[in-house]
Amino acid sequence: MMRLIEDILTPAELEAIELVSRSETPRFDRLVELSGLDPAQDFTYSDLRRLNLCGADLRGFDFTGSDLRMCARNDRTIIDASTILTDTKTNWIELEALPIVMKMQEVEAASGSDRRIAVLNELIAEFGKSAHVVTYMVSAASKAESLDEFIDFALFLPSIPSEEHAQMLKVAAEKLLKKRLSRSRSRTRRDTTMVFALEAIAARLREGEGTLAAKIFGYLAEIADTKNQSVQLGGTYNIERADLERAFARIGQ
């Protein structure tokens, strides 16, 4: 039988929670003081990602082995020699960059393609295709779990990425294509299933005019032409797995 939280926590702990919940200060160090936690002992080997540390006095805090990635700080955040960051993971967000990071987090939290594309449109509208935004999208595409997710980012990426980015994208695209087609083939054991999957992939790539997706689609059209196929990519067409593999391999050319 589940116990009520009042039965698990001590009166002092319940009082500390009440003090923190009523507090109007956003400062991390002051909230820690209200909670009764010990900065020198209670923040080691902890997942502390995405904390707001703006204006916090972190002198005397021991973050040994903790994860502080994506924590926000500003020029009033105090960190000195007494702040222990041994084996700590850090990837600070400066306050000025917080809005764009929050939008990127919305992209990552998107539950499906439609939502992801909508938020990516918002990201581009608000912040443009700056080097920071492009680097983020390349990184997200290279970590995509599915080919559809990869294409969502390809619909916004520049048609000719840098050499470093192109290599990351090629590796991811080839891996995800193999995963997608393997799944399609295993469902029915029919070659026609794979054909439909290939056509659906090509149709999605065609949507991204002036982007990496459209560039890959253009490679696919060139490959079809060299094979002397009577194909017009945009209507009914037949493509083979090797055609898409070759098109993805040309990313960055």
Summarised one tens digit per residue, pLDDT across range 205-240 is: 888 889 999 999 999 888 877 765 544 454 445 678
| 161 vs 192, more confident | 161
Residue 187 has pLDDT above 70, yes or no: no
- State how far the Cα of 99 lies from the Cα of 109, in Å rounded to an integer: 15
Q: How far apart are CA 142 and CA 169, in angstroms?
A: 6
**First-last CA distance in the chain:** 63
pLDDT tens by residue, 17-35: 787 777 777 789 999 998 8
The reported pLDDT for the residue numbered 18 is 80
Q: Which residues have C-beta within 8 Å of that of residue 130, sequence separation ≥ 6?
A: none
Q: What is the pLDDT of residue 98?
A: 76
- Report residue 4's pLDDT band, with 50, 70 and 90 as the boundaries: low
Q: Taking 90 as the threshold, does the pLDDT of residue 56 lie above it?
A: yes
The pLDDT, as a whole number, for residue 59 is 96
Query: What is the residue extent of each domain of the chain?
Result: 5-98, 110-249
Read off the pLDDT of each residue in 131-137 and give the average, rounded to a whole number: 91
pLDDT in the model for residue 235: 47
* DSSP state for residue 3 in the 8-state scheme: P
Mean pLDDT of the chain: 84
The 10s digit of each residue's pLDDT in 66-121 is: 999 888 888 889 999 999 999 999 988 877 777 888 888 889 888 899 999 999 99
List phi, psi (to 5°) of 2: -70, 140
- CA separation, residue 240 to residues 43, 207, 252 (Å): 55, 20, 22
Triad 18, 23, 24: Cα angle to 5°: 155
- What is residue 119's predicted lDDT score, i.e. its pLDDT? 93
Phi, psi of 70, rounded to the nearest 5 degrees:
65, 20
Do 42 and 13 form a contact (C-beta atoms < 8 A)? no
pLDDT of res. 236:
47
Q: Is the per-residue pLDDT at 158 higher than 80?
A: yes
Query: Is 201's pLDDT higher than 60?
Result: yes
> What confidence tier does 15 reach under pLDDT thresholds 50, 70, 90?
confident
Average pLDDT value for residue range 130-159: 93
